[in-house]
Structure 1
């Protein structure tokens, strides 16, 4: 199979596929922000990751619709398959899984693997380094939600030598638990990492809640599994420091 019409409902995967054949991306979500010129290649917006326009997707006659187990709903996958659409579900919880899933997906599409993907494998898929510090990573406020240990972001941090901690049982089923902010501030972290997505933390929105040292980091570098992985070690490891 060499796919010529692909709908991607996963922003990270959209960016990854666009580095190979952007003209084949006929449908993307409103959250697919990279590359910023997707419409110039003919891509149509089909709403969000959790509320895709199924009729619009069907009308695009895709060879394949790409989704992710965490980002998209099982209900939408089932409904697309009932419409006769071919849907490929990716499942990514670690950086090596992200690299491997992208390799598998490109092979399934019949597309070549880009050079950045081999570089990402070299950078991120080796032995784990020693832990040098403990961090807590909020992704939302009011209520405060944090990255749990069984997530892509936690694994990326661990591969930088940072252990993600939280004020909750690490075996709890919720991968992004809600935790009172005062508990986050006393959970033993050396630093609080505040990304600029999905919640847009800034120097004026977030750091004031903590006495623990706070660092503003790139949300894309911390959470996306695509070409951003090549620069992620540099972008995450050089945060903007703020006063607690």
Structure 2
């Protein structure tokens, strides 16, 4: 008789997509921000920063999957206090993302290893060495302006694509920097993702003109899951268009 599969609640959009790609029936709960895969049939338990612990507990999950950056310690402590098992991931680099994805998928009983994970690793391994590195400011918010700083997953992906971020050596991971300072930083490119702030062609590039602006899909830049297989091509194309 096959072992019963666990009931899983995901508090991280990337991990929701990763689990659902192989076994959507495992997910009994997900956050309001878990938009992939479209049409996911799972109860919604609030946001990543404000999940409802009572709603999570009511789903009787065997496992709650979370992330140390996306979810608040107080919320995770409340879930543990309710007697729930919480698996917390840490993702600061691409290599770490691959390791953590394997850990999450194993904890969910997903075996064998999914094809998309092999495809993602192969896609990134096949990247040619950058021939003309570029330096970029990478805003993630405006009003106030916030940018990528040190030790970020998105920054590691950009570095592999030949883009050095101006504030990679900053003491903070997501520093607030005045626009005047950003404009004077000496970058030759601004990279504008569409999440968490939804930068668009009409909202963002004008603040840095005449600096070239690369509008990138935030899911490709910040999610660690099935999108990683497509991300090198999609990000490289967006960066190349901003010349």
Do Structure 1 and Structure 2 share a fold, with TM-score over 0.5? Answer: yes
Counterpart position of 1:77 = 76
Deviations 1:108-161 (A, max 9, x none): 222122101012122335899346111111010010000113100000001112
Structure 1: runs of 5 or more not aligned: none
Counterpart position of 2:202 = 204
Counterpart position of 1:138 = 139
Secondary structure in 1 matching 2:158:
helix
Counterpart position of 1:114 = 114
Does the 8 A contact of 1:185 with 1:210 survive in 2? yes
Secondary structure in 2 matching 1:104:
helix
1:197, distance to aligned residue in structure 2 (A): 0.9
Does the 8 A contact of 1:95 with 1:124 survive in 2? no
- CA distance in 2 between counterparts of 1:209 and 1:102 reads 37
Structure 2: runs of 5 or more not aligned: none
Does the 8 A contact of 2:141 with 2:196 survive in 1? yes
1:102 aligns with 2:104: no
1:1-244 matched pairs, under 5 angstroms: 3-39=5-41, 43-112=42-111, 113-124=113-124, 129-130=129-130, 132-166=133-167, 170-172=169-171, 174-211=172-209, 212-239=211-238
Secondary structure in 1 matching 2:215:
strand
Does the 8 A contact of 1:149 with 1:165 survive in 2? no
Please identify, of 178-187 and 53-62, the stretch whose mean Cα deviation from structure 2 is larger: 178-187
Change (3 A) 1:207 1:226: same
Does the 8 A contact of 2:149 with 2:170 survive in 1? no
1:176, distance to aligned residue in structure 2 (A): 0.6
Secondary structure in 1 matching 2:214:
strand
1:2, distance to aligned residue in structure 2 (A): 5.8
The structure 1 segments of at least 4 consecutive aligned residues displaced by more than 4 Å after TM superposition are: 125-128, 240-243
Q: What's the TM-score, normalizing by structure 1?
A: 0.91
Does the 8 A contact of 2:140 with 2:146 survive in 1? yes
Does the 8 A contact of 1:95 with 1:125 survive in 2? no
Does the 8 A contact of 2:194 with 2:217 survive in 1? yes
Tell me the matched-pair count: 237
Please identify, of 78-87 and 211-220, the stretch whose mean Cα deviation from structure 2 is larger: 211-220
- CA distance in 2 between counterparts of 1:68 and 1:187 reads 32
Secondary structure in 1 matching 2:181:
helix
- CA distance in 2 between counterparts of 1:156 and 1:218 reads 13
Change (3 A) 1:139 1:151: same
- CA distance in 2 between counterparts of 1:149 and 1:221 reads 19
